[in-house]
Structure formats: C-alpha cells, structure tokens
Amino acid sequence: MGKKIIITEKPSVAMEFAKVISKNFTRRDGYLESEEWIITWCVGHLVTMSYPEKYNEQLKYWRIETLPFIPKDWKYEIIPQVEKQFNIIKSLMTREDIEAIYNAGDSGREGEYIQRLVLMMIKPDPKIKIKRIWIDSQTEDEIRRGITEAKDASEYDSLSDSAYLRAKEDYLIGINFSRMLTLMYGQKLSNMLNEERASISIGRVMTCVLGMVVNKEREIRNFVKTPYYKVQALFKDFQAEWKMTETSRYFESPKLYNDTGFKEEAEAKKLILELQGKEAVIEEIKKSKVKEAAPLLFNLAELQNECSKKFKISPDKTLEIAQNLYEKKLVTYPRTDARVLST
C-alpha cells in the first residue's frame, strides 16, 4: 500500500494535521512520516516569477526601447532562501511509494497559488492522485472533515487560474511601469532628493492606494470650514429638526448649505419667526415589522477597517493577530474575502 503526502503552508499547520491523523509520526528533516502518511510543508512562497534578465541578459539594463516586456512563455524559479525545503518536498513527491498528494494550503486564492507553483515545478508522476483539502479552521473536527472530504484538485482549477492571472498582471504592471516611470522621471526625483539615483515603484494595488491617500490629503489641506445654521424645534415629548423636502419652497435653494442648514443666520431666523407659535401637524405615522439579518462574518478587509477605527491598530498588526488566533484554533481562516462559511 502506497503512502499519501499532505503539504501544508507552514510547519505549525503540519503539526496540527499530525495530531489529528496519528500519534506515530517520526520527525525528520523538513517533514513528518508515519506508516501511511507523510506531512511536509511550504514556508510561504517557494517559487517566484523570474525577472526579465532571466529571459534575456540584456534586459537587466533598463531602456525605454525594451518596453513593454511581455513574456510569451513565463519562467519561474525557486526562491534561494527556501530552496532546501523545496528540494525536500521534491524528493518526497518523487518517491516510488507515493500514491496521492494532498494540497492542504491555506483556503484561498494565494494558498492555492503557492501549492500549484510547487506542483508545476516538480511535475509529479501523472499516476499520482492530486487532492485538495479545504478547511475553514484548524480544529480537529475540521481537519478530519477536510481530509475525508478532500476533492480532486481539478475542481479548484478556476481558483488557480485566477491566482496565476493576478500574479501575471501584478508582474506586468510592476515591471513595465516601474521601469518606464523611473526612466522618465527618476533623474528629476533623484535631484529633488539629493540622491545619486532614484527608482519609482509601481504596483497594481499599491499605486492606486497611494493615489487615494494623496487625494484625501489634498482634500484635507484644501478644506475650508463653512458655518451653517440649523433650525430645531422643542415639543412637549420630543425634539425635531427642520429638513428641506421636495415640496418645500427651499427645495434646491442656493440659500441652503445642505438639506438641513442655511448658509446665512438671517435666513434661519426668518424661518423660525414664520414657524414660531404655529401648531405643528403630524401628517403620517408609519409602523412596520422588519426582519434584520444577522451581520455577516468579518473578512480580512472589514476586520482591518474595524480594528483601525476602534483600536487604532494597523492592518499588518491586525492580520498578525488574526493569523495567530487562527493557528490557536480560535478563529476561522483570516486571509479571505468571503464573509460566510463554506458548506
């Protein structure tokens, strides 16, 4: 009977799988092994996309005439710092006693991408079954369910394709625009900074976010305080505030700052004098029963936003804490866009 390999994204996850599967694992260099199972791990990304100079040595020199650089056949390479672990995984995948490989990468696009790159570089025997373990937490029951219900890896091909496309898009934007803008404006920038040279880094997400930050900062700097005046009424049992409606004579009036305020104090006082002493009429009371759905779970972006507002915690720190809680089996997988649990 052949053995099965489980490949997790990090050593700590491998240990959790080992606890669930068997107590008889032997610890070896870069993996765990029992009679039926081998558990090994990545350490984040093991494989990366090659820089232009790996396609053509002349491309290490930045020149406008070589842009845009768009590879016909994409090249990948092992990251030197983690080459040892990659070679351990490769030696395990190519053993003659292996009958199945279980991808237990993090349950998300990037987790899928990390493992697919490893499989692409190693190219295991086509006879070996490739399975995908998809779990939402690291509890024993969830890990056990994930192994039992592991699906054929091909069912996640669309997720893999989206990850490859995202990586290629990032690469093309980063390489081409960074080189182009550095060649066009790098000298001016270096002169401004009193540096010998300067490069301009462009990223698909990074540059857009930077643009939003710059625009918001400009709004703040250019903001001019505008005083305006509201009209409020005090009744016996409640308080009310005047608001412009479409039937009001003030509808779209230039005298208003917004729907509830006047630009000039005199206009507000004029309305007060008109209303003072008059009887208010309640024209309509609406009552209705509504069902309010339970709030959705946090995804990473919403969690980071909430923690920033309430606790002034940076996005990186929020992710670090959430990841730590996940590894302690206290929360579900944090690096996700989903706001519901998979069934």
Helices (H), ranges, 152-287: 157-193, 206-222, 265-275
Catalytic annotation on 333? yes
The enclosing H or E element of 120 equals: helix 109-122
Strands of the chain, DSSP E: 3-8, 26-28, 31-33, 37-41, 47-49, 76-78, 98-104, 129-132, 151-152, 229-230, 232-234, 239-241, 256-258, 261-262
Q: Cα angle vertex 55, ends 54, 58, to 5°?
A: 85
Query: Residue 259 CB: number of other CB atoms within 10 A?
Result: 12
Kindly name the residue from 156, 171, 326, 333 that is annotated as catalytic: 333
Q: Which two tokens stand for residue 327?
A: 């590894």
- Which residue from 42, 35, 29 is spatially nearest to 3, judged by alpha carbons? 35
Task: Quickly tell me which residue has 């779209």 as its tokens.
Answer: 252
Neighbour-count burial for 98-111, b at 16+ CB within 10 Å, e otherwise: beebbbbbbbbbbb
Burial of 335 (0-12, 13-18, 19+ CB in 10 A): middle
CA distance 321 to 298: 14
What span, in angstroms and rounded, lies between the C-alpha atoms of 104 and 117? Answer: 14
- What span, in angstroms and rounded, lies between the C-alpha atoms of 226 and 66? 53
The tokens of 169 are what?
């898009």
| Catalytic residue IDs | 333
